[in-house]
A and B are shown apart, each in its own frame.
Chain A
Amino acid sequence: MDINCRTCMFSKIEKEKLQKNIEEYIDCLSPEEKTGERLYKERLELCFECSSFFNGLCRICGCFVFTRAAKLRSYCPGIPKKW
């Protein structure tokens, strides 16, 4: 815990580990919290076409779109809302 800086921390984050975390997070959502398969796909398609989407991320809210779209009560943070 001695010398720390954000730049060094970022370089230590592994992409595979991150992907696993996202999958685990979605798996942990209860059936009531989770978006249905069809709606989930519809939301993601809209995200993928959006100019604020890059590398799996929504630039407006900082969320990975896979996790944001997976929550039923969630919404698109853009103006206008795409979903």
Chain B
Amino acid sequence: MAKFIINTLNKKSKISKEIYGHFSEHLGRCIYEGLYVGDDSPIPNTNGMRNDVVEALKKIRIPVLRWPGGCFADEYHWMDGIGPKEKRKRMINTHWGGVVEDNSFGTNEFMELCRQLECEPYVNGNLGSGSVQEMQDWVEYMTFDGVSPMAELREKNGRKEPYKLKYFGIGNENWGCGGNMRAEFYADMYRRYQTYVRSFGDNKIYKIACGPNGRDYNWTETLVKMAGGFMDALTLHYYTVTGSTWDNKGSATKFTEDEWYTTLFKTLKMDELVTKHSAIIKRYAPDNNIGLIVDEWGTWHDVEPGTNPGFLYQQNTMRDALVTGINFNIFNKHSDTVVMANIAQTVNVLQAVVLTEGEKMVLTPTYHVFEMYKEHQDAQLLESYIETELIGKDKNTVPNLHESVSIDSAGKIHITLCNLSADSSYKIETELVGKKAENVKARILTGKTSEYNTFDAPEAVKPKDFSNVSISQKGLTFEIPPVSVISITVE
């Protein structure tokens, strides 16, 4: 019997709803086909946006959407994507199987998508190959309320009112595809570019600097030391890759039990990364005025056989569901510094929540975890601890259980718990300190480790009611099956 202690008297940081955010890039079929089909498509749409995908994302309360990249951001010139669509620049990338970029999805379309999703837009600017003026003009185009050349251009393109834009990223992966810069050079470039990213009227821009790749602590320290006073947050990118090389990342759907534990072991590294980067940030910003945004995270498997390797289209199993649950628990527990996270990516690319094929759409196991965890959004983290044992093999051992708990403004307690074991169930004795449980509702997502949803069998993996939770004198008792994610609401 594992003891699970929840101290309802110790309320900790607020879990920013943006932790449950998304990322959509002009890559593969994420934007085109996945989110945007154009208003003349036979696929049901509103102003070109797929109705089925918009509806699905609203159900998980998508709080924020990052766009246009990723690597694409530092090659994107926003002026190519405004004005009459027939006059927009068309580019065909013949390099990898004919990726057509006709710029039919640009700034106005992205803002329209966010309006339909009722989420905050997060625009990532081009520092790598764009000019300071280009970035300055883009912010002015989107947000300036008054008479200016960019506001006039916006009006000419059919939008008089300025858009509301809070989150603006100043470069992406500038240690790599965004210019191969050294930390010192980027820090100076950041200071220069951000000067011209202005807040107009009542629109306050939240400035986001490009942070490190994985364990590059030197990048974080240099950046915060040299430019910390000019930013609201910095980013962190970390992908869970099962294989040991990029040429052999491993199949998304066919994997051994060893690979199951390797994936979970590697995803748990997120805790160490967030802890250490947060410690560096806090050393230079002790008042917690610089946030950490994990704006690219998730699994990166080999692409589905027979698909374009440049499109990064991969399936998504219960293994990905566990990765999602574990990362959300980590972000929740670090919500004093982690202010946003964006899964890579929303549709059809990497660890997608939604897959599409023509008019068909399927929700992945990852989607269902987003849905089950949504009650944590803007709730307050509670102190919690669960007794664990190490499972797995050799060096890839992981704790058998992984949890986080929050309390919402109505006083409801939300518990999310993952069982990482591929074959064992565990009895849990939960003690609720400072609260008497009167009513409990629970749901479970479980299945075989490699089970997934397809266009032919879209509901093979989906949450079900979990009625095995009993109210005891001290709290709750239940048994969690192997390979499962549970969400419990206590009143």
Task: Report A's interface with B, CB cutoff 8 A.
Answer: 1-11, 13, 18, 22, 25, 54-57, 59-64, 67-68, 77-79
Instruction: Assess whether B307 is in contact with A63, with CB atoms less than 8 Å apart.
Output: yes
Contact of B173 with A by CB under 8 A:
yes
Q: A1-B245, A57-B97 are in contact. Are A7 and B308 (CB under 8 A)?
A: no
| B188 interfacial by beta-carbon distance below 8 Å | no
Task: Tell me the bound Cα distance from A67 to B51 in angstroms.
Answer: 30
Contact, CB under 8 Å: B176 / A55? no
A24–B106 CA distance with the chains assembled, in angstroms:
39
Given contacts A59-B98, A60-B33, contact A9 B306 (CB under 8 A): no
Task: Check B257 for interface membership: any CB of A closer than 8 A.
Answer: no
A5 to B296, CA, bound (A): 11
CB-defined contacts of B27 to chain A, threshold 8 Å? 6
| Listed A/B pairs (11) with beta-carbon separation below 8 Å | A4-B176, A4-B213, A6-B70, A6-B312, A7-B71, A10-B96, A22-B306, A54-B92, A62-B308, A64-B307, A79-B359
Report the minimum CB–CB distance from A81 to chain B (whole Å).
8
Taking the closest CB of chain B, its distance from the CB of A11, in whole angstroms, is 8
CB of B436, distance to nearest CB on chain A (Å)? 50
**Interchain CB contact under 8 A, A5 and B307:** no
Residues on A with beta carbons closer than 8 Å to the beta carbon of B177: 5-8
Q: Which residues of B contact A13 (CB under 8 A)?
A: 96, 309-310
CA distance A54 to B71 in the complex (A): 23
User: By the criterion CB–CB under 8 Å, are B71 and A1 in contact?
Assistant: no
Q: Check B358 against A60 for contact (C-beta < 8 Å).
A: yes
The distance in angstroms between the C-alpha atoms of A8 and B100, with both chains bound, is: 19
What 1/0 mask marks residues of chain B from 20 to 57 whose CB sits below 8 Å from any chain A CB?
Answer: 00000001110011000000001100000000000000
Residues of B within 8 A of A55 (CB): 94, 97-98
Q: Is B175 positioned at the interface, with any CB of A under 8 Å from its CB?
A: yes
Q: Among the interface residues A22, A57, A61, A63, which one has the most CB atoms of the partner chain B within 10 A?
A: A61
Docked CA distance A25–B70 (Å): 30
Q: Closest chain B residue to A74 by CB distance?
A: B306
Are A54 and B175 interface neighbours, CB within 8 A? no
Residues of B within 8 A of A68 (CB): 306
Is B246 among interface residues, defined by CB-CB distance under 8 A?
A: yes
State whether A4 touches B92 (Cβ < 8 A): no
Alpha-carbon distance between A63 and B97 when the two chains are bound, in angstroms: 10
Which of B96, B245, B348 has most chain A Cβ within 10 Å?
Answer: B96
Chain A residue at minimum C-beta to C-beta distance from B28:
A62
Q: Which B residue's beta carbon lies closest to that of A4? A: B246
Residues from chain A with Cβ under 8 Å of B311 in the complex: 62
Q: Are B241 and A1 in contact (CB under 8 A)?
A: yes
CB B118 to nearest CB in A, in angstroms, measures 28
Is the beta-carbon distance between A54 and B97 smaller than 8 angstroms?
yes
**A3 partner, pick from B213, B313, B359, beta carbons under 8 A:** B213
List 18 additional A-B contacts (Cβ < 8 Å) besides A59-B33, A60-B357, A67-B307.
A1-B244, A4-B176, A4-B246, A10-B309, A10-B310, A13-B309, A54-B92, A54-B98, A55-B94, A55-B97, A57-B97, A57-B308, A61-B358, A62-B313, A63-B307, A64-B97, A67-B306, A79-B42
Most interface-central of B92, B95, B96, B358 (chain A CB within 10 A): B358
| B360 proximity list for chain A (CB < 8 A) | 77
B32: nearest residue on chain A (CB-CB)? A59
Query: Which of B100, B213, B245, B307 is within 8 Å of A62, CB to CB?
Result: B307
State the 5 A-B residue pairs at the shortest beta-carbon distance, nearest first. Answer: A67-B306, A54-B98, A77-B358, A5-B177, A55-B98
Cα separation A2 to B308 with both chains bound (whole Å): 24
B305 within 8 A of A: yes
Q: Smallest distance from the beta carbon of A29 to chain B beta carbons, Å?
A: 10
A26 CA / B229 CA spacing, docked (Å): 57
What residues of chain A lie closer than 8 Å to B29, measured between beta carbons?
Answer: 59, 61-62
What residues of chain B lie closer than 8 Å to A8, measured between beta carbons? 176-177
CB atoms of B358 and A5 under 8 A apart:
no
Per-position binary interface string of chain B over residues 396-427, scored 1 when its CB falls under 8 Å from any chain A CB and 0 otherwise: 00000000000000000000000000000000
**Nearest opposing residue in chain A for B42, CB measure:** A79
Q: What A residues does B92 contact at CB under 8 A?
A: 54
| B261 shortest CB reach to chain A, Å | 18
Task: Tell me, rounded to whole Å, the shortest Cβ–Cβ distance linking B302 to chain A.
Answer: 11
Contact of B357 with A77 in the complex, beta carbons under 8 Å: yes
Contact A9 B173 (CB under 8 A): no
Which of B100, B213, B245 touches A59 (beta carbons < 8 Å)? Answer: B100
Contacts of B100 in A (CB 8 A): 54, 59
User: Are B358's CB and A1's CB within 8 A?
Assistant: no
A65 to B340, CA, bound (A): 39
Q: Within 8 Å CB of A18, what residues of B?
A: 309
Instruction: List, in ascending order, chain B residues with CB within 8 A of A11's CB.
Output: 95
CB nearest neighbor in B for A6: B71
